[in-house]
């Protein structure tokens, strides 16, 4: 009997240590996609004409979530390049931009492992350009803004031809932000060479610079480690600041691959 009590006393510290040890699993979903589709550009600093054409995009989409947690982290890298022409097919512009999206999503609803709804917000930092090949004076326009975007995501799992499919819809709209813009009639020489500031960093809202970005994708497994993802990405950006109007509408058909993997961390 004494030996049993002695054994229990010796094992007690190890039992307590095991109880304090917790394993945390982080599930990471990463998609790499290429998109192609139409682009519509208007920038009255460069031209009063509307320009339309074809563009390509690269999108990296990553979501991280710990098991048992309601919050997840989302990170997106988006790069666009478009070649557009005016309605008379005489003038040509190049448009390009890089967008970084980072945010948090809260799992608001989950029904039978099929339907899920997340809500939250993202911060979007964007840097880009528009170059008009026909202009000799002020041929280019720089683009830069930072926006706060309320965001919602819905997912739905279903079967198609006896194969599991994951449908995902993400939508975001800007709320407030700041944007770089020359003032009406102001040249870049005045801004950068002479240092003449004229309200070039402009606070924006959903009224003065509305933006609507939405993406729908469908995932279908092609192997144990790889999933095919196809979808659509639309981004409608507008602004009316400093007496200048600008809009850039992009529509992309997406195709790429998705990987899901887990990272297990041990903590005391």
pLDDT at 265: 67
Closest by alpha carbon to 165, among 254, 74, 77, 258?
258
Mean pLDDT of 67-91: 95
pLDDT at 18: 45
**Which helix (H) or strand (E) is 189 found in, with range?**
none
pLDDT at 140: 93
pLDDT at 80: 98
What is the 3 state secondary structure string of 70-120?
Answer: CEEEEEEEEEEEEEEEECCCCCEEEEEEEEEEEEEEEEEEEECCCEEEEEE
Mean pLDDT of 96-103: 98
pLDDT at 21: 43
pLDDT at 161: 86
| Digit-coded pLDDT (tens) for 23-39 | 678 889 999 999 999 99
Q: Cβ of 241: how many Cβ atoms within 10 Å?
A: 20
| Digit-coded pLDDT (tens) for 1-19 | 555 544 444 444 444 444 4
| Digit-coded pLDDT (tens) for 52-75 | 999 999 999 999 998 889 999 999
pTM, two decimal places: 0.86
The answer, yes or no, to whether residue 115 has pLDDT greater than 60, is: yes
Beta-bridge partners for 174: none
| Digit-coded pLDDT (tens) for 199-222 | 999 999 999 999 999 999 999 998
pLDDT at 137: 79
pLDDT at 132: 95
For residues 116 and 107, give the distance between their C-alpha atoms in angstroms, rounded to a whole number: 7
Query: Can you give the C-alpha Rg of the chain in angstroms?
Result: 25
The more confidently predicted of residues 138 and 43 is: 43
pLDDT at 178: 97
Length of the chain: 268
Mean pLDDT of 116-140: 93
pLDDT at 268: 52
pLDDT at 8: 46
In whole numbers, what is the pLDDT of the chain averaged over residues? Answer: 89
The more confidently predicted of residues 155 and 136 is: 155
């Amino acid at each position: 009997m004494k030996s049993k009590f002695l054994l229990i006393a010796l094992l007690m510290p190890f039992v307590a240590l095991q109880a304090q040890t917790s394993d945390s699993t982080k599930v990471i979903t990463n998609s790499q996609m290429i998109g192609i589709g139409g682009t519509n550009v208007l920038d009255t600093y460069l031209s009063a004409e509307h320009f339309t054409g074809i563009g390509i995009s690269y999108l990296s989409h990553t979501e991280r979530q710990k098991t048992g947690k309601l919050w997840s982290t989302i990170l997106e890298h988006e790069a666009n390049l478009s070649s557009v022409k005016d309605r008379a097919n005489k003038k040509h512009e190049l448009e390009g931009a890089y967008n970084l999206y980072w945010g948090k999503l809260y799992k608001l609803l989950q029904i039978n492992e099929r339907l899920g709804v997340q809500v939250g917000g993202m911060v979007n930092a964007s840097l880009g350009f528009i170059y008009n090949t026909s202009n000799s004076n002020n041929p280019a326009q720089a683009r830069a803004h930072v926006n706060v975007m309320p965001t919602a995501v819905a997912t739905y799992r279903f079967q198609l031809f006896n194969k599991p499919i994951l449908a995902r819809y993400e939508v975001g709209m800007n709320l407030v932000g700041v944007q770089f813009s020359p003032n009406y009639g102001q040249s870049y020489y005045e801004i950068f060479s002479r240092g003449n500031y004229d309200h070039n960093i402009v606070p924006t809202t959903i009224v003065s610079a509305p933006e609507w970005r939405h993406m729908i994708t469908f995932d279908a497994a092609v192997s144990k480690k790889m999933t095919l993802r196809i979808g659509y990405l639309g981004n409608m950006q507008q602004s009316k600041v400093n007496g200048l109007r600008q809009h850039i509408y992009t529509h992309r058909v997406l195709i790429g691959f998705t990987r899901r993997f887990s990272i297990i961390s041990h903590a005391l």
